[in-house]
Amino acid sequence: MVRIQVRLTMLFIVIVTLVLAISGSYTQYTLSKELEAGSARLRSGVLTRLQTSLPSALWDLDKSKVDSIVAAEMLPPELVAIRVYDASVGLFAGEQRDVGGTVRPLTTDPGKQALGGAAVEAPLVFRDAVAVADGGKAMVVGKVVVNFSRAQIDAALRNEVQRKVLEVLLLDVILVAALGLSLRIVFEPLRQLRDGLYDLATRGSDDVEELPESRRDELGDVIRGFNAVQRKLKSIIARIREAEDAARRSQHETAQALDDLRRTQESLLQSERLASLGSLVAGVAHEINTPVGIALTSASVLKEATDAISTAVAGGNVKKSDIVRYLDTAGESARLIMNNAYRAAHLIHSFKQIAVDQVSEARRAFELRDYIGEVIASLQPTLKKTRIAILIDCPPGITFDSYPGALAQVLTNLVLNCVEHAFDAETAGSIHIGVRCEDDWLQMEVRDNGRGIAPDMIERVFDPFVTTRRGQGGTGLGLNIVFNLIVKQFAGTITVTSTLGQGATFLLRLPRITPLLDNDGSTGH
């Protein structure tokens, strides 16, 4: 990880180096132009002077004067060699500068031998004043060849580059030192803040000490702000710990209250189921009382007739008419006893099956249509007091592998809910129980044509203790029991739709083979 201090230093170095490089390049370019211009002026001046002073001396073949002129012009170090040629003789005079910088006379013409530098050639024209006045022409008496060197220019440019490089390096070193000292003033408190924040994040707030507040600048204000935040955070953490302790205590109390609520709910559910079973027992007992009473009365009549015929036989005065009357009485009594005994046996069988299923909660496979009929038969003592007809539309042969007692509880609560809430006491109506098989699922519909459910109640019908007959014997647990049994025990779903004045429809969707119950009471496979 590259620190900000290093990145700032590198940024400033790059900027300064770039600025100085641009400035140096411009200076180098300007210096090069100036040196080139000075070199051009030097070449022009040397050639002009030589073209002015040499022709007359060369015309007079005054070698000493030519040598003096050449020696005077060879003083600038930029000149490498000067060669003076006579038009008829050839090389007349000349000097050259050797590698060590010493000027030596040229004794022979170097010809094509390179003397170094750039060679500039100019003609030497002699103008005699008299000849020119007489209309004569100026004569070319020779030429001069001057070799100029760029070594001084290149050396000056190199020196300038070296000076700029040294200047950049020196400024970079000074900048690094200055930035290091200045940024340390800024970043040292920031490091303290960083360490403090890291300790505050990784250690307990009580273990982190506050930073010193001795600085009286902007960073000192930041440090004081950090210490204030730290103190505030410690206060917040202390309150959070207190709240967590209170929350744990509340959670423990809530869990205990939830357990109590669950036990109470189970007790209420059990009471509701036992109350339903008790109502079933009372209704069946009342229903059985009639056929048993008729059978008992018929048995009494048969016994009296039997005693009478026995007395007549013992006295020896039996008549044919007595025997015929006795046979008629015995036949009618036997018929009444058989019919009512069968009726009582059917009621007892249905009651026994339903009661055993509701108490034992055993699981078994059963034929759905017959079982629905037995459940409805067990409700006849209640239904016979109303003008409500029960219609069962279930195809035969549908086997349901589940909990018959729970299904009886569901059907009983749904039917009784319709009886109590959908119809008035003297209102005629019907309850339709329809079953359809869809692959591995059963779809059961319990529909009535009663008054319907109010819109503000439709969303809450399955909530506990919701009833429209509070104070009139309604507990509000019937549909809640149905919902819990369908969802938890049958692993199915139940929905309700209703239109006021047109009845309500409860739609149950159940798997044909109910999943096994887990230990916590939920269904599992």
Take residue 211 and report the two structure tokens written for it.
Answer: 């930073």
Which residues of the chain carry a pLDDT beneath 70?
1-5, 109-117, 128-137, 186-187, 198, 200-208, 214-215, 217-219, 265-290, 342-343, 346-361, 465-477, 517-525
Separation between Cα atoms, residue 91 and residue 297, nearest integer Å: 177
Contact, 58 vs 141, CB < 8 A? yes
Segment (H or E) for 509: strand 504-511
CATH architecture of 361-525: 2-Layer Sandwich (3.30)
**Cα separations in angstroms, 231 against 196, 204, 212, 221, 496:** 13, 13, 14, 15, 58
Longest dimension (CA), the chain: 216
DSSP string covering 8-45, please?
HHHHHHHHHHHHHHHHHHHHHHHHHHHHHHHHHHHHHH
Helix (H, G, I), strand (E, B) or coil at 286: helix
Contact, 54 vs 87, CB < 8 A? no
Contact, 75 vs 93, CB < 8 A? no
The secondary structure of residue 425, as a DSSP letter, is T
**CA 365 to mean position of chain CA atoms:** 48
Contact, 211 vs 226, CB < 8 A? yes
Contact, 404 vs 360, CB < 8 A? no
Residue count (the chain): 525
The model's pLDDT over 506-519, given as tens digits with 9 standing for 90+, comes to 999 999 999 876 55
Contact, 389 vs 376, CB < 8 A? no
Going by C-alpha positions, the residue among 21, 3, 4, 9 that lies closest to residue 173 is 9
Interhelix angle 151-202/218-315, nearest 10 degrees = 40
- Output the pLDDT for position 443: 95
Classify burial at 35, counting beta carbons within 10 Å of its beta carbon; exposed 0-12, middle 13-18, buried 19 or more.
Answer: middle
Contact, 512 vs 437, CB < 8 A? yes
- Output the pLDDT for position 432: 95
Going by C-alpha positions, the residue among 23, 20, 26 that lies closest to residue 168 is 20
- Output the pLDDT for position 112: 47
Going by C-alpha positions, the residue among 442, 437, 422 that lies closest to residue 494 is 442
Let me know if domain 4-162 sits in CATH 3.30.450. Answer: yes
**For the chain, which residues make up each domain, given as ranges?**
4-162, 208-348, 361-525
Interhelix angle 63-73/4-59, nearest 10 degrees = 170
